[in-house]
Amino acid sequence: MKRVSGSRTASDRVRFKADGKMRTVSLRQLRADAAAGDPESECTLGFLHHRGRGGVRASFKKAVHYYSRAAEKGHAIATCNLASCHFHGQGVKEDLLKAARLWRKAALMGDPVAQCDLGIMYRFGEGLRRNRKLALYWLLRASRSDPRALFHLGDGHVNAGNMVVAKKYMRRAAALGERRAKSWLMKNP
C-alpha cells in the first residue's frame, strides 16, 4: 500500500493501492484479512479510520490500533503513519521522540515520507537535537521521490544565501507539484 487514497466505489467496497496496483475489496473482506494479521490490510484499515474514508467512521484510536499492528510486522508505511499520529497527538498522546523513533525505523526501511519527516525534525530540532548533517542526509535520501524534501533542501540553501542551488531545488520541487516551491519561485524568478 502506498499512501492510500481510499475511496468508496460501491456500497461495501473499498478501493486502494497496494504493491503498486489498485485493489478493490469488500470492507468485510478487508476487515477479515486484517483480523487474520495481514499487514497490508491492517495498514489500509488504519488509513481508512485515520481519514474517515471508504465507509469507515473516522477514529484516530482505531487508526493507531491498526497502524501499530502492521508496524509490528515491519510495514514501513504503517510505521510512518503511526509516527505521524504520535507527532500530531492523533489517537495517542503527542510524543515527538516516539514519532522520531518510528520515522527513523520507517526511513531505514526505505520509506521516503519518513525520510523527509525525519530530515525536517533534524532540520528544525523538533523532538530531536538540531543536526544539520543528519537533516541533509535524510532530506537527500527522500529527495528522490518526495518533493517536500526538495523544498526543504532549497529552503536551507536560501537561508545559507546560496540562491543558485536554492533555485535548482525549488524548480525540481515545483515541477513535482510542491506548492510552497511554486510560490517561492513566483516571488524569486
Could you tell me the CATH number of the domain that includes residue 32? 1.25.40.10
Q: How far apart are CA 12 and CA 104, in angstroms?
A: 36
Is 185 inside any structural domain? no
Domain membership flag for residue 139: no
Q: What is the chain's length?
A: 189
Residue 161 has pLDDT above 50, yes or no: yes
- The residues, ordered by sequence, that sit 6+ positions from 110 with a Cβ below 8 Å of its Cβ are 76
d(CA 108, CA 70): 16
Whether pLDDT at 56 is above 90? no
Distance CA 180, CA 182 (A): 5
With vertex at residue 136, the alpha carbon angle to CA 133 and CA 139, rounded to the nearest 5 degrees, is 150
Q: Is residue 51 part of a domain?
A: yes
pLDDT tens readout for residues 104-137: 999 999 999 999 999 999 999 998 999 999 999 9
Q: Which three cell numbers stand for residue 71?
A: 508496524
Is the residue at 22 inside a domain?
yes
- One-letter amino acid of 6: G
120, part of any domain? no
Report how many domains make up the chain.
Answer: 1
Coil, helix or strand at residue 143: coil
Is 20 part of a structural domain of the chain? yes
User: What pTM was estimated for this model as a whole?
Assistant: 0.85
Name the residue range of residue 84's domain. 7-115
Q: What is the pLDDT of residues 9-49, one digit of tens each?
A: 444 777 766 666 777 888 888 899 999 999 999 999 999 99
